[in-house]
Amino acid sequence: MELVTSLLKKNENKILLVVLDGLGDLPCKDGKTPLELANTPNLDKLVKESATGRHIPVEFGITPGSGPGHLGIFGYEPKKYTIGRGVLEALGVGLELKETDVAIRGNFATVEYKNGEVVVIDRRAGRIPTEENKKLIAYLSEHIKKIDDAEVILHSGMEHRFVVVFRFPYPVSEEVETINDTDPQVVGKSPLEPVGKGEFAEKVAKIAKKFVEKVAELLKDNKPANYALLRGFSVKPKMPTFEEKYGLKSACIATYPMYKGLASLVGMELIKFEGATIKDEIETLKKVWKDFDFVFLHIKKTDSYGEDGNYEAKVKIIEEFDSYLPELLSLKPAVLCITGDHSTPCKMKSHSWHPVPVLIKSPYVLGGLSERFTEREVIKGELGMFYAIHLMPMLLAHAGRLKKFGA
């Protein structure tokens, strides 16, 4: 058993983990980062009585995807637990995956048939409306129920995205993760044929090929979505739940499928709610707060604006979050942690490897070391720079949920 798990003790102290996705940034204007540019009176006050520092999501110089980024802050070694895109998407749309399932991310695409060749002309079928997607999935589900010994389960995602699960009558093997994506990544080329290494992977690749052929046949007269590209063949990784690992009854409040998927993978309860604003999320938090030991609240737009390179919008969303901070504090969490899953610098328009600011509010901190909650100020803080996987043990410690190790 892991050291932390062996030292758990129960109490009533609640932990609130707020993840502002892609929070960390680089100078955008006048040498200042969005956190430095933002007007954040509430964070400014909070930071003075909090422990501060930075986490390294995976490893020095390594830029994490959303999966490794979140697994790290959840305390699961992201170099050990890898999550395929298919699994993430499946969990995100609410499919409960079993040990017998292979999950794949599908994209509706537009192809042309030239001299017997299939040529991709739009990898996203013009980002068809989600409603159109739902109709297509209903139609396909009716006509493709089983291929060889795999039950076929389809689920719509947003726009052109969908999930396909091949459910076998026996447990599946991780070797399916050797199967290549069929998406050629550029238009004007043919989709790739799925090929896997190992007996089971070969079998799944054949089923995938038949699936694509059936979709192409069923949608041949449809426009613009007349084809399916497959990505991220994967199986659910074997990992302990949050409850098993930390003894925490935990919930996730998030708006995007991927983050819900990640939370559900570690066994967090996904809280359903209407709306997608920070306000909606915080109202939801207030409702469920009493029912859980640990709540993971995910705010997406800091990352989205980072990806867009829109620092002004990133500043605004930080300010919006700041305005709700008093409401979070009014819940009196024993431990409040505010951080990101990785950095998404506006000038890079992508995730990056840069360490991510962390703030921990608890009675058991030194505090008084950072003037503001910014990339530069948190460097002065007491938490130093640490791997993300050490965050959860620290939150448990600050919540008084770990016994002493050894006599």
Judged by CB under 8 A, does residue 123 bind a second copy?
Answer: no
Give the one residue of 10, 12, 60, 115 binding a second copy; rule: CB under 8 A. Answer: 60
Q: Which stretch binds a second copy (CB under 8 A): 273-281, 302-310, 326-334, 383-391?
A: 383-391
Judged by CB under 8 A, does residue 385 bind a second copy?
Answer: yes
Cα gap 402→395, rounded to integer Å: 10
Q: Which stretch binds a second copy (CB under 8 A): 53-61, 183-191, 214-222, 265-273?
A: 53-61
Mask 232-251, x = binds a second copy (CB under 8 A)?
Answer: x-------------------
Cα gap 271→83, rounded to integer Å: 22
Q: How far is the CB of 111 from a second copy (least distance, A)?
A: 24
Judged by CB under 8 A, does residue 348 bind a second copy?
Answer: yes
β 269-270/250-253 pair status: parallel
Mask 196-235, x = binds a second copy (CB under 8 A)?
Answer: ------------------------------------x---
Length of the chain: 407
Cα gap 351→381, rounded to integer Å: 24
Query: Which among 177, 174, 217, 213 has a CA at the least distance from the CA of 195?
Result: 177
Distance of CA 54 to the CA centre of its chain: 20
Mask 287-326, x = binds a second copy (CB under 8 A)?
Answer: ----------------------------------------
Q: How far is the CB of 87 from a second copy (least distance, A)?
A: 9
Residue 34 token pair: 């969005």
Output 40 or 234, the one with its CB closest to a second copy: 234
How does DSSP classify residue 77? -
Distance of CA 187 to the CA centre of its chain: 28
Helix (H) or strand (E) holding 43: helix 41-48
Cα gap 378→46, rounded to integer Å: 13
Cβ atoms of 104 and 194 within 8 Å: the answer is: no
Enumerate binding residues for a second copy (CB under 8 A): 3-4, 7, 26-27, 31, 33, 54, 58-68, 78-79, 82-85, 88, 232, 345, 347-348, 350-355, 363-369, 375-376, 379-382, 384-386, 390, 392-398, 402-407
